[in-house]
């Protein structure tokens, strides 16, 4: 009885912690778009006073850096949007071929959720597995078909997204090669966890802009020219 009570307390504690983390994640998912909306509305009003704080002799370089970084961020967002649309179509079609009734909504959700590395893919796979179990169990059919379908569709999709779509459609747009994209995701994930994976590519793009400008200034300096 004591072991049962301890096991029940452990399960309850895990559920509370997991529920709290999920609630925090949902709250952030709702809060961030709202903050971004108001940030964009106030952007033109906020920037002139901040620009005036920059020393005059630095303004040309700072403005150039900001414009280049802004262009790269636009390229990053467009590339990420293409990845999401392609994967939404792929997952929907793949699940349809394996006979999933909810292939379209689950596929579209998975495609749109891949903007959250690993978590979006994992949630989509869990939803597909649950939908397959419920559908095929209710029909009295074997569960091998949905199991194989989820494994094939999501396994191949993850490989294509990680090693081709993101490096090609996102990495090359922001000046990072496939190896640099994979290394950036691994390094930021190791250093900063889940948040690091989210910011890895845009942060690497901005860092690459800064590095290019530092190298250009160094080559134009008397130290380099002798």
Mean pLDDT across the chain, nearest whole number? 82
What pLDDT score does 94 carry?
93
Q: 135 or 40: whose pLDDT is higher?
A: 135
Burial class (CB in 10 A: 0-12, 13-18, 19+), 136: buried
Q: Could you tell me the two tokens for 89?
A: 């179509």
Q: What does the pLDDT average to over 93-100?
A: 92
Give the pLDDT confidence of 162-202 residue by residue, as tens digits.
888 888 888 777 777 777 777 887 888 788 777 787 788 88
Helix axis angle, 144-160 to 56-97, nearest 10°: 150
Q: In this predicted model, what pLDDT tens digit does every residue of 6-40 receive, in sequence order? A: 666 676 676 666 666 667 766 766 777 788 788 77
Region of residue 116 (left: phi > 0; alpha: psi -120 to 50; beta: else): beta
- Name the residue with higher pLDDT: 23 or 112: 112
What pLDDT score was predicted for residue 154? 93
State how far the alpha carbon of 223 is from the alpha carbons of 48, 151, 206, 210, 218, in Å. Answer: 35, 57, 26, 19, 7
């Amino acid at each position: 009885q004591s072991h049962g009570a301890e096991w029940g307390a452990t399960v309850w504690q895990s559920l509370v912690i997991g529920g709290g983390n999920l609630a925090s994640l949902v709250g952030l998912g709702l809060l961030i778009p709202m903050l971004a909306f108001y940030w964009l509305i106030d952007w033109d009003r906020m920037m002139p006073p901040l620009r005036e704080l920059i020393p005059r002799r630095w303004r040309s370089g700072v403005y150039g850096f900001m414009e280049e970084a802004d262009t790269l961020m636009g390229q990053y967002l467009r590339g990420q949007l293409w990845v999401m649309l392609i994967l939404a179509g792929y997952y929907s079609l793949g699940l349809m071929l394996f006979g999933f009734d909810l292939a379209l909504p689950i596929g579209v959700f998975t495609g749109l959720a891949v903007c959250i590395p690993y978590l979006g893919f994992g949630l989509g796979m869990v939803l597909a597995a649950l939908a397959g179990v419920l559908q095929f169990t209710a029909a009295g059919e074997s569960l091998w078909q949905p199991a194989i379908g989820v494994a094939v569709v999501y396994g191949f999709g993850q490989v294509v997204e990680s090693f081709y779509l993101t490096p090609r459609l996102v990495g090359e747009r922001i000046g990072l090669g496939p190896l640099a994209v994979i290394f950036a995701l691994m390094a930021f994930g190791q250093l900063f966890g889940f948040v690091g994976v989210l910011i890895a590519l845009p942060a690497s793009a901005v860092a690459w802009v800064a590095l290019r400008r530092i190298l250009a200034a160094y080559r134009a300096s008397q130290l380099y020219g002798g």
